[in-house]
């Protein structure tokens, strides 16, 4: 009876196993000395542009979302960027099998003295949908704003 149950279980398991994943060159990015009232292309300010890599054998569609970090995710001295509208990132990216895409990231800091001398942290969350098993990654962005104008 046990042999029959194992055989049935084996037949119910899909024969295709998906291996692969996502990767990015932006694990953690730190950008300092930004000014209120200005917009920045973070791909130009970072040491390299925001690149997402599809290591799967199939094309993937990634959703991208800007998120404030939870308190336990904050690096010392940083506050969560609660107004994620400061960051403009493409909402969806399709990447071919074993392909990569450079994703533009724009940051606009409101022109308000209350932001002077502050440090903020945010996530860019890139994730798949529509698959049996979702895959995602978070890229940590840390910014600091100048203390005086």
Would you state the pLDDT for residue 149? Answer: 82
Catalogue the long-range contacts made by 75-82 (C-beta closer than 8 Å, 24 or more residues apart).
Answer: 75/121, 75/140, 75/142, 77/119, 78/119, 78/120, 78/121, 78/142, 79/118, 79/119, 79/120, 79/121, 80/120, 80/121, 80/122, 81/120, 81/121, 81/122, 81/143
Would you state the pLDDT for residue 133? Answer: 74
Would you state the pLDDT for residue 7? Answer: 38
20-145: CATH number = 2.60.40.10
- Residue 1 has which token pair? 């009876």
For 50-84, what is each residue's pLDDT tens digit?
A: 999 999 888 999 999 999 999 999 999 999 999 99
Query: Which residue ranges of the chain lie beneath pLDDT 70?
Result: 1-20, 131-132
| Nearest-angstrom CA–CA distance, 126 and 67 | 11
Would you state the pLDDT for residue 6? Answer: 37
Would you state the pLDDT for residue 14? Answer: 40
Q: What pTM was estimated for this model as a whole?
A: 0.83
Q: Which of 22, 10, 18 is nearest to 53 (CA)?
A: 22
């Amino acid at each position: 009876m046990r042999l029959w149950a194992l055989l049935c279980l084996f037949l119910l398991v899909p024969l295709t196993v998906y291996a692969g994943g996502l990767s990015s060159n932006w694990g953690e990015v730190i950008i300092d000395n930004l000014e209120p009232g200005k917009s920045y292309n973070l791909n130009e300010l970072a040491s390299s542009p925001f690149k997402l890599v599809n290591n799967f054998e199939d094309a993937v569609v990634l959703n991208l979302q800007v998120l404030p970090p939870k308190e336990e995710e904050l690096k010392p001295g940083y506050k969560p960027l609660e107004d994620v509208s400061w960051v403009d990132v493409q909402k969806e990216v399709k990447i071919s099998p074993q392909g990569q895409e450079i994703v533009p990231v724009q940051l606009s800091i409101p022109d308000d003295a209350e932001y002077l001398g502050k440090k903020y942290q945010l996530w860019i969350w890139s994730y798949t949908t529509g698959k049996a098993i979702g895959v995602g990654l978070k890229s940590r962005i840390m910014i600091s704003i100048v203390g005086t104008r």
